[in-house]
Amino acid sequence: MEIKDLENKIDELIQVCDELEKKHTVMHADQEKWLQERTRLLEKNELAKNKVEAMIMRLKSLEQD
C-alpha cells in the first residue's frame, strides 16, 4: 500500500508542477503585454508632453508680439 500511496503523491506533484508551469507561461505572456503597453503609454506621454510644450512656446511668442 505504501508504494501506491507514493505513486499517487508523485502523480499529484507532477500535476501541480504542470499547472504551475502553465500559470508561469501565462504570467510571462501577461508581463510581456504589460511591458509593451507601458512602452506605448510612455511614448504617448512623451508625445503629449512635447505638444503641450510646443503650445506653451507658441503662446509665449504670441504674448511677445
Q: Tell whether 3 is covered by a domain.
A: no
23 is a domain residue: yes
Q: What was the pLDDT predicted at 48?
A: 98
Q: Is residue 58 part of a domain?
A: yes
* CA dist 13 → 7, 25, 30, 33, 35 (Å): 10, 18, 25, 30, 32
CA dihedral angle for residue 28, residue 19, residue 21, residue 8, rounded to 10 degrees: 170
Q: What is the pLDDT of residue 18?
A: 98
pTM value is: 0.67
- Asked whether residue 35 is assigned to any structural domain, the reply reads yes
Question: Looking at the 3D structure of the chain, how many domains does it have?
Answer: 1
Percent of the chain with pLDDT over 90: 91
| Residue 54, in any domain of the structure | yes
